[in-house]
Chain A
Amino acid sequence: MSTVTPNANAASEEAVRQVPDAQGRFGQFGGRYVPETLTKALEELTHEYAKAKQDPDFQAELNELLHRFVGRPSPLYHAARLSKQLGGAQIWLKREDLNHTGAHKINNTLGQALLTLRMKKTRVIAETGAGQHGVASATACAHFGLPCVVYMGAEDVRRQKPNVFSMRLMGAEVRPVESGSRTLRDAVNEAMRDWMSSVEHTHYIIGSVIGPHPFPMMVRDFQSVIGRECREQCLSSFGKLPDTIVACVGGGSNAAGMFFPFVEDRSVRMVGVEAGGRGAAPGDHASPLTYGSPGVLHGSYSYVMQDEDGQTSDVHSMSAGLDYPGVGPEHSYWKDASRVEYTSCRDDEALGAFDFLARNEGILTALETCHAVAKATEIAKTMSPDQHLVICLSGRGDKDAAELARLRGQEW
């Protein structure tokens, strides 16, 4: 395997990479803004995770699961027809959609389920938006024999029905959340409230790089298998690092896992794509990095959509997994450090990308992921055919078939 291009400016890049600090701060972002009741469990988790990280047995068990249960490594696929159609960069798809359960979420839930056992906790709770994290949590819990309760906004229960059914088939209890906007944000609130009462025997498997320390760091680490594999696969497939990487950003876990192993490689341009919904007006999108401001939500300090009083604003995306007013603190850090560019993609653009990938490559992509695909195709057109662009294909689209039919007024 070829060696990696040396860094021009290793010292400062090291600084960008060595986050968070012991308090869970990514620069000014992150930290822990939660009720005191949760502190003990967060400390315990921090401690157990630090131990597990150093423990070869833990790593071996996780790697074995990722290999034989999940099917990793996921392929890096050259979308030759798509590339040719666009006439720009060579487009490569990191196929997280081919993982067991159909998305990147399983990388994280298996890691956290193993930690649950190590901490001798006997029950798992999770929140979910698109249902992919719920399914991945239900799967990990079925695998290990842990009872699992998944909180899901009632609106998301409606628009991601197939995943609700899958979770129940695997023995998880899905609790629809009727409060607030009845979406992901409300599901996180309810899961946190459950945890406030159950914290002594329950582990809360947060599904993205959000929440109080150590979650943003730990989930990023578990998802970094995406970027690590991708880096090696780029080197072996086309002999160098990619020029550009594009990923969608809801809470930001597939993007963080993809980007993190490339953070020091300044030659690699990285683009995170948020949900642009119906447009730039307040309430019409879910793009805190593009339109929001720093604030506190769900236990950490990060960009968020909020009003002048600090109340969380309503957001919109047709995609349940991106329909969230906050984002992981490390993305806020990367944004302010200008290491990653963040942009947003509207519902209609994402729908166009769904069809484009379906017709040209025979891949049905999750609506979340379509946001990355749409922006990537735009960017690829501005690049030359000897350049390489990687898209994190975070999930498959089966779950969205019925909702797509509804959005288009077609029969399902």
Chain B
Amino acid sequence: MTAIDDLFTRLRASGKKALMPFITAGDPNLPFTSKVLLRLQELGCSMAEVGIPYSDPIADGPVIQASYTRALANKVKLDQIFHQIAGTQPSLSMPLVSMVSYAIIHRHGPARYIESAKAAGFSGAIVPDLLVEESAPFAILCREHDFNLVQLVTPTTPQDRALKIAEQSSGFLYFVSVTGITGERTQLPDGLVDRVGWLRERTKLPICIGFGISKPEHVRLLSPVCDGLIVGSAIVRCLEKAHESEANAIASAAELVSSLLAALES
């Protein structure tokens, strides 16, 4: 039982939903990442997704790509990220999940990745380029270490495959809302609510929806059919001027997050 499993058990028992912001580790520096995480927790976010910057992120749109580029330009290293998160851990009660390319996990060594991530305080990993077919050896290691491996389903995933992926996923299932890359959308695709609803009737695993979510009306539309909502590019965009003023960047992210949390409560 990880902190994520525990979180969703509690949320479901009280009929609540999670808001899960995504931020990029080390954009523009690691102490700022800690400050943002603490502020998000204070605002009432249930958990956070920490993006490990990667040089060739195929599933990411311009906003997150640019944040990875900024972090890497400042030479942020995986060990430093873990060190920073470990240092912040005593003040963090919300669970953290890492979003990380398999290129990084493979290079670090899958078992070593899990051990270092866990030691730093991560409860699991989302690995956007590790398909269910390729994931078995890593999934076994994750289970052995009581570390969640969050799998993804997308609009192009056939129903029978979605069920198989849900079976293999742990912590929660990441339901990608759109056929495409990360980035804010004004409009989410028709039929999304029905597709999530279909899957939710067939799995006990919590379902969180991500990609494109940026507005209170998205939250109001989707929260009834899922367990949580993931907001990435919209927040990363608020934070992209941190090098000018950290306080202003955090204030603007906080304003967005507060409006989304209010929509979640209503």
Contacts and interface: CB of A to CB of B under 8 A. Distances in A.
A and B interact physically: yes
Interface of A: 23, 31-41, 179-180, 185, 189, 192-193, 196-197, 199-200, 295-299, 301, 306, 308-312
B131 A34 contact: yes
Interface string B130-149: 11111000000000000000
A298 B134 contact: no
Given A296-B101, A309-B107, A37 B154 contact: yes
22 contacts: A32-B133, A33-B103, A35-B154, A36-B131, A36-B132, A36-B157, A37-B156, A39-B157, A41-B156, A179-B65, A179-B69, A193-B59, A196-B180, A196-B181, A197-B178, A197-B179, A200-B179, A297-B56, A298-B58, A301-B106, A306-B107, A309-B108
A310 B157 contact: no
Contact of B103 (A40, A193, A295): A295
Contact of A31 (B132, B134, B176): B134
A309 B81 CA distance: 12
Contact of A296 (B57, B103, B133): B103
Contacts of A310: 54, 101, 103-108
A186 to B, nearest CB: 8
A195 to B, nearest CB: 9
**Residue of B57, B131, B151 with most chain A CB atoms under a 10 A cut-off:** B131
B58 A193 contact: yes
A23 B132 CA distance: 12
Interface in B102-142: 102-108, 128-134
Contacts of B12: none
B133 A35 contact: no
Interface in B25-56: 54-56
B176 A37 contact: yes
Nearest to A35: B59
Contacts of A193: 58-61, 181
Contact of A196 (B77, B133, B179): B179
Nearest to B178: A197
Nearest to B129: A33
B225 interface: no
B207 to A, nearest CB: 15
Contacts of B107: 295, 306, 308-310
A36 B152 CA distance: 7
A40 B165 contact: no
Contact of B152 (A35, A40, A295): A35
Contacts of B235: none
Given A37-B179, A308-B77, 5 more contacts: A33-B131, A37-B155, A40-B158, A298-B56, A309-B107
B63 to A, nearest CB: 13
A39 B59 CA distance: 13
A77 B34 CA distance: 65
Interface in B144-180: 151-158, 161, 165, 176, 178-180
B72 interface: yes
A33 B56 contact: no
Contacts of A38: 156
Given A189-B58, A295-B106, A309-B107, A36 B134 contact: no
B78 interface: yes
Given A37-B179, A309-B107, A311-B72, A192 B58 contact: yes
B55 A180 contact: yes
Contacts of A295: 103, 106-107
Given A23-B133, A35-B152, A297 B58 contact: no
A311 B158 CA distance: 32
B103 A35 contact: no
A306 B103 contact: yes
Nearest to A190: B58
Nearest to B113: A310
